Structure 1
Amino acid sequence: MSASVLKEKSKQKIPTSFPVRRMDYEFQDMPKYWCNNEPTFTHYFTGLSTLFPEGESYFVRSVRALRDQVKSNPQLDRDIGAFIGQEAMHSKEHHAFHVSAQQYGLDPESLEKSTGIILKAIERTFPKKWNLLVTVGLEHYTAVLVVEMMKNVNELMTDTTIRNLWLWHSVEETEHKAVAYDMYEYLYGKGLDAYIPRVAIFSLSLVLITTFSNVYQVVLMSRDKQLLNLKSWAKFAGFTVQSYRKLVPQFFSYYRRDFHPNDTDESDIVAKTKIKIGLSPEQSTFIH
């Protein structure tokens, strides 16, 4: 038996740190305003959702572009494979949600396409290291958001299928939150030459994702002829202020020199969320 075959067999014995779950949600019966029964809330989270199919495909490409350089770390390599599998499932399910949302004439798929055009332009412009850093930074941003989703925000979602979509996604974002960061650190270290681009690209990424999510919300509100619904905007403004008081300090923890995604432990809320949506830890398939 050749050395390469033995090496591959040895690699296959290393389990991934988390599973890849194949989900098939059906959204046909969702109400028009499935978050807090309000257009502003619903359109904000729909707008955020439209970032995921193309955004997570971009994340996958960014880690694949450098994956060959981490083959000497079998555990990290296996976890990158599981990260790719989870992100692929997130893209698939959020896209299915957007297709179903077409029934209300809001065309969220067009926002997906706009996101893809912009991200492909960024990908062509940035070197591989910077594209990986966009992924690293936005994985932290998402990891912060999903904890609030699991603790509180999901309770605003009146449609069970959509709530389960967001909670399943939240669980998996927590499971793989350190993979891209560990890949970056493995490749580029912890020195100042790794830290400065890390926080610089994160600052840019924060501006981009905040701009996109707010602009997409306004676009969807306009398409729904709810742009001047001041009562709904006022409710959403109160929710936003309350949420960001908790979220901003956690976003900014990324600027610490000694930051690592696993500094925080979400195991309790993840366990409760899995029970809430009936998610079995054994429900998994590995995708390369």
Structure 2
Amino acid sequence: MSAVTPEPDSIHRRDLRFGRDVALDRWWHGGDAGRTAFFNALSSTFPVGEKFFMTAVRHFKDETPELLREQIEDFIYQESMHTREHVVFNRQAAEAGFDIAPLEERARRTISWARRRSPVQQLAATCALEHFTATLANDLLADPLHLEGASEEPARLWKWHAIEEIEHKAVAFDTYLVATRKMTRFRRWLKRSAVMAVTSMRFHYVIYRNTADLLAQDGKNNVPTWAKLLAYLYGRPGPMRKLLAEVFIYMRPGFHPWQVDDRHLLKAALAELELDTGKGVTT
């Protein structure tokens, strides 16, 4: 396990619930159809995706050293909470009038394809997608423009999710290092890089198809809406621009998720949400 990984008790178990008593506005993200569609599209993939992550990492749990096994258990707990809360969020989006089922089915088909790969390839795909979620989480917590104008309860949900994605961002990667310990460094690098390339293409396809489906349901799948949304995604604050750059950073030999230590973002976000900072978060 990499020496830059924080102490093993830096992943915290939080049983939080969001949006149970407040209906979700149809365009909950500042009244903007494009931004709402993008975040709803992301959320539609999380329940099936996070179950895949848990299975992929759990497969190698018994091979890992004790400290990493503890982190894997905490990772699985956090991902199970994310699954539960995004099931609720997706149901609320459906109650707001969106047909979420085709989006969930598209994500399910993609995950079914991934499940036909070897356990190591499934773990490598999990590493790639965990890097995406950690990148998006870092950006969301670092720049308040991401959720500017968003309704309070979904904003809290996304910030909580971002906190925990950063806390456990290296668990799958460290598990991959154990699972591939008998490979040469070149083969290990080549496999994770090749899987990242494929995963990146599939991720972008699913997210943008899902976003387009939601915009079509609003009668907003048109050039003006997409121009405004793409300015948000690739201009300022630019979450997808930064995510695309991180694909190439991930492919560098010697990469590790904790080469970027962003725990300072956790401290600020936890204070904002009035959650316990916990040992291992304060710096």
Q: After TM superposition, is the score higher than 0.5?
A: yes
Q: Are positions 1:37 and 2:28 aligned together?
A: no
Look at both structures and tell me which one has the larger radius of gyration over its CA atoms.
1
Q: Deviation of residue 63 (structure 1)?
A: 1.0
Letter of the 1:58 partner, please give it.
F
Q: Deviation of residue 29 (structure 1)?
A: 2.2
1:79 maps to which of 50, 71, 77: 71
Q: Are positions 1:274 and 2:270 aligned together?
A: yes
Partner of 1:210: 204
Partner of 1:200: 194
2:125 maps to which of 134, 139, 147: 134
Identity of aligned residues (%): 27
Gaps of 5+ in 2: 1-6
Give deviations 1:111-140, integer Å, cap 9, x for gaps: 2233123312320x2000000000011111
1:52 maps to which of 32, 42, 46: 46
Give deviations 1:170-206, integer Å, cap 9, x for gaps: 0000000000100111221361111110100011010
What is the distance in 1 between the residues matched to 2:108 and 2:252? 31
What is the distance in 2 between the residues matched to 1:163 and 1:128? 35
Give deviations 1:193-236, integer Å, cap 9, x for gaps: 111101000110100111100000000111222223x4332211
What is the distance in 2 between the residues matched to 1:140 and 1:255? 11
Structure 1 residues 138-217: aligned runs within 5 Å: 138-152=129-143, 153-189=145-181, 191-217=185-211
Give deviations 1:20-40, integer Å, cap 9, x for gaps: 111111253222112232111
TM-score (norm 1): 0.87
Partner of 1:239: 232
* Structure 1 moving runs of 4+ over 4 Å: none
What is the distance in 1 between the residues matched to 2:87 and 2:45? 10
Partner of 2:91: 99
Letter of the 1:150 partner, please give it.
L
How many residues align? The count is: 266
What is the distance in 1 between the residues matched to 2:140 and 2:189? 29
For the 8 Å contact 2:26–2:97, the answer to whether it is kept is no
For the 8 Å contact 2:137–2:165, the answer to whether it is kept is yes
CA RMSD of aligned residues (A): 1.9
For the 8 Å contact 1:145–1:247, the answer to whether it is kept is yes
What is the distance in 2 between the residues matched to 1:151 and 1:66? 33
Letter of the 1:161 partner, please give it.
E
What is the distance in 2 between the residues matched to 1:32 and 1:245? 26
Bigger shift: residues 235-244 or 37-46: 235-244
Partner of 1:63: 57
Partner of 1:11: none
What is the distance in 2 between the residues matched to 1:202 and 1:104? 35
For the 8 Å contact 1:98–1:109, the answer to whether it is kept is no
What is the distance in 2 between the residues matched to 1:246 and 1:132? 23
Partner of 1:251: 247
For the 8 Å contact 2:50–2:79, the answer to whether it is kept is yes
